[in-house]
Every structure is written in structure tokens, then in C-alpha cells.
């Protein structure tokens, strides 16, 4: 009997939806609610969805197809979340690149993953300019994105499509890739929302989540997607604030 109970791990979650589909549903429910905040700037759900759509349309035109790995080398910012969701909407899987890592490691990750396009910021261009990929700057190329449609692109992925690929530290040899599917991350995000009693409705203000983790580690997924799939507000905590115990506690 005990073995049967322990093995009963089935749970109900949106098995036939991708992460960005669920985010789009939430954006329709709560378009004016704050979705993400960084320092003094914020984006509502409608604004975040529209900006991610514009980036997705650009990526589609640059050849990003279903499951294609797209490098993502950005600092903590609103643009980080815009780029992340935009990649998923285009049909791609994001490949987080830590700008503090050596150039040789970044080059290895890009080549091993087979990525041909990279999203970065102007401030990080020096770290990635020698990589053999096309580079889009999510901040200084903003005028290019603004020419695109703000509507949701047609779905190009399935729940079994990869949502991201991260690399191990490589401390025991060459870094190894680990890919996660939409179904995996939808299941995990739904679990977090269920444990916290969160529902994607419009009747109550959303919960506030804070993220301090780099995208190169999947710890951030405990906050990022549960926030955006439940109508919550995601606070991106800067590195400087996270390192100041008093200021962090006050925030």
C-alpha cells in the first residue's frame, strides 16, 4: 500500500500548452497589471507581451525556427524578460550565456548548441562580438523591433519542444548540455503555483516574486514563470542590491 502511495505521482497541469501560450492567456486576463519591475522601470502584461511579440517576429525573419537554440547574453533587466519570452514566441529555445564567464566558454557553448543567433545588450557587446553568430541588441536595436507587429505570432512549438538549454559547470571535464522541454517547465511552474495557492484570475492582486539568480542556473525558474503564469509581479533584483544585505531586506 505504501509503495502504491509513493508511486502515485500523477498530477493535473496544462500538459498541452507551451509556456508562452499560458503567458499570453494571462496577458489577456490582466493586461494592465504590472508584470515585471526593475529599479524604477516596469512593464504591464500587455506591454511585455507586445514587446516580446515584436522581438519574436524579428527572430522569425532571421531564421529562428521551432527548437532553434538562441543565445541570450544579457544583464538583469526588463530586456532580459522581453528577450526570454520573445525567443519562446519565435519558436526557439533560449541558451543563457553568463557574461562573467570566459570568452572561450561562451564560444564553446554557442558552438556545441548549434546556435546561429545571439541576443545581447550594447553594454555586453565586447564580450560577445567575437562569437560566430548573428547578434541582435535588445536595447540599442529597439527601433528595429518597433517596426514589427505587436500581435502574437502563430504557434511554432509543441509541449515537447525545448524551452532552454543550460550547461553544467564542466568542473569534471567539458561542460555538458541539459535541455528542458516546455512540458517539464509548465509542470514545475504549475506545481509552484499550486503549492502557493495562486490562480491566474483577475479578482485579486497578483503575488510579488523576486528573482536574484542568473539565467545560467535554473534556480530562477522558481520565480520567473510562476509569477508570469499566475498574474504575479516579477521583481528583478539587481546584483548590487542583492549583495547589500540591509538594502535587500528593506526591499
* Contact between 15 and 159 (Cβ < 8 Å): yes
Write down the pLDDT at residue 5. 52
In this structure, the dihedral spanned by the alpha carbons of residues 145, 150, 154 and 159, taken in order and rounded to 10 degrees, is 80
Neighbours of 122 (CB within 10 A): 11
Write down the pLDDT at residue 221. 86
Write down the pLDDT at residue 11. 63
φ and ψ at residue 110, rounded to 5 degrees: -60, -45
SS3 113: helix
Model confidence, pTM: 0.91
Closest to 115 in 3D by CA, of 73, 69, 55, 58: 69
Please give the average per-residue pLDDT across 233-247, as a whole number.
Answer: 92
Please give the average per-residue pLDDT across 213-227, as a whole number.
Answer: 85
Please give the average per-residue pLDDT across 90-117, as a whole number.
Answer: 91
Confidence of residue 82 (pLDDT cuts 50, 70, 90): very high
Please give the average per-residue pLDDT across 153-164, as a whole number.
Answer: 93
Confidence of residue 217 (pLDDT cuts 50, 70, 90): confident
* Contact between 233 and 206 (Cβ < 8 Å): yes
pLDDT over 80 (residue 149): yes
Sheet holding 208-211, edge to edge: 41-44, 34-38, 233-236, 208-211
Please give the average per-residue pLDDT across 120-135, as a whole number.
Answer: 90
Please give the average per-residue pLDDT across 185-197, as a whole number.
Answer: 91
Write down the pLDDT at residue 57. 96
* CA 211/CA 235 separation, integer angstroms: 6
Amino acid at each position: 500500500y505504501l509503495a502504491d502511495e509513493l508511486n502515485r505521482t500523477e498530477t493535473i497541469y496544462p500538459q498541452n500548452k507551451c509556456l508562452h501560450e499560458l503567458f499570453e492567456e494571462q496577458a489577456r486576463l490582466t493586461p494592465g497589471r504590472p508584470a515585471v519591475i526593475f529599479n524604477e522601470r516596469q512593464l504591464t502584461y500587455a506591454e511585455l507581451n507586445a514587446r516580446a511579440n515584436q522581438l519574436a517576429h524579428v527572430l522569425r525573419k532571421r531564421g529562428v525556427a521551432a527548437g532553434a537554440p538562441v543565445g541570450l547574453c544579457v544583464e538583469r533587466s526588463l530586456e532580459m524578460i522581453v528577450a526570454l519570452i520573445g525567443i519562446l514566441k519565435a519558436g526557439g529555445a533560449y541558451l543563457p550565456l553568463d557574461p562573467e564567464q570566459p570568452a572561450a566558454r561562451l564560444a564553446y557553448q554557442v558552438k556545441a548548441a548549434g546556435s546561429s543567433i545571439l541576443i545581447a545588450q550594447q553594454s555586453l557587446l565586447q564580450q560577445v562580438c567575437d562569437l560566430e553568430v548573428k547578434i541582435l541588441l535588445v536595447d540599442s536595436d529597439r527601433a528595429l523591433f518597433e517596426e514589427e507587429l505587436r500581435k502574437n505570432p502563430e504557434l511554432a512549438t509543441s509541449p515537447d519542444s525545448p524551452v532552454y538549454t543550460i550547461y553544467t559547470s564542466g568542473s569534471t571535464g567539458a561542460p555538458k548540455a541539459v535541455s528542458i522541454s516546455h512540458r517539464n517547465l509548465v509542470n514545475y511552474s504549475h506545481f509552484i503555483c499550486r503549492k502557493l495557492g495562486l490562480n491566474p484570475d483577475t479578482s485579486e492582486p497578483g503575488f510579488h516574486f523576486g528573482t536574484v539568480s542568473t539565467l545560467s542556473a535554473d534556480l530562477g525558474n522558481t520565480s520567473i514563470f510562476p509569477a508570469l503564469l499566475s498574474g504575479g509581479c516579477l521583481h528583478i533584483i539587481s546584483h548590487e542590491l542583492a549583495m547589500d544585505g540591509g538594502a535587500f531586506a528593506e526591499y
